[in-house]
Amino acid sequence: MEHVARLLAGKLLKISAINLQPYNSFIWANGWNAPMYTDMRKTLSYPPLRTFIKIQLARLIMEHFGEADAVAGVATGAIAYSAMVADELGLPYAYVRTTPKDHGLENLIEGSLKPGDKVVVVNDLITNASRSLLVAQTLRDAGCEVLGIVAMLDFEFESAAERFDEMGIPFKALSTYGDLLAVALSQKVIVPADVAAFNEWHDDPEAWTPGDNDNE
């Protein structure tokens, strides 16, 4: 739903959960340089926004993956929202690590899921898809059926879409990179000339460096 997508993008920009610097860069956890940075945990400090995201993620699951038996969150960024969504839907919940913890039982899956369970994975962001797909494979290895993945924001990288397709896992997001740029432009957070700088990064995020878009 475009209305929800644009509304969420505006809310994220308003609280600086998304920061845009078209001629500067941040370093992402995956090592990429990027002219934008997201801190989705910041949304947890705003109760009305937190409730909005929870309800909309639950709606997304009901619309596209209504036969789900359980919800699984991607650790650590999606733990809070995935738990809230599972509670909203009245479904069992677990969260999944991408690497085993270094003590105790060294679990990857924290919670109780059964082989055969139909599971929807909740993540905060879809970037290069690595964490989402690691979690999906862990659940498959445990005998679960992964119905799909939902997230708050999809950066719409072609490589990520290809990886999801290769694993046969559908994914849905509340908002997208395109929605974000459109709202930022309409709210004058960025100017039209900035769009080309963002899109140059978006076309090849792994190779992009801050010097590529000097504003001369």
pLDDT band at 215 (very low <50, low <70, confident <90, very high): very low
Please, what is the average pLDDT of the chain?
93
Strand 109-111 relative to strand 118-126, pairing: unpaired
**DSSP for residue 41:** G
| Whole-angstrom distance, CA of residue 194 vs CA of residue 184 | 10
Output the pTM of the full model: 0.93
- List, for residues 13-23, the tens digit of each pLDDT value: 999 999 999 98
Q: How many residues does the chain have?
A: 216
**pLDDT at residue number 198:** 95
pLDDT at 216 (0 to 100): 38
Cβ(98)–Cβ(135) under 8 Å? yes
Mean pLDDT of 174-192: 97
Q: pLDDT over 90 for what percent of the chain?
A: 88
DSSP string, 85-151: HHHHHT--EEEE-SS--SSTT--SEEE---TT-EEEEEEEEESSSHHHHHHHHHHHHTT-EEEEEEE
Is the per-residue pLDDT at 128 higher than 50?
yes
Phi, psi dihedral angles at 45 (to 5 degrees): -85, 0
What 44-50 contacts at long range (C-beta under 8 Å, 24+ apart), as own/partner pairs, is 44/80, 46/15, 49/11, 49/15, 50/84
Q: How many other CB atoms are found less than 10 A from the CB of residue 216?
A: 4
Which residue ranges form the domains of the chain, and what is each CATH number?
A: 2-210 (3.40.50.2020)
* 8 A C-beta contact, residue 20 and residue 36: yes
Look at residues 216, 154, 213 and name the one whose alpha carbon lies nearest to residue 34. 213
According to the model, what pLDDT value does residue 214 have?
47
pLDDT digits (tens, 9 = 90+) for 46-60: 999 999 999 999 999
pLDDT of 102 higher than 90: no
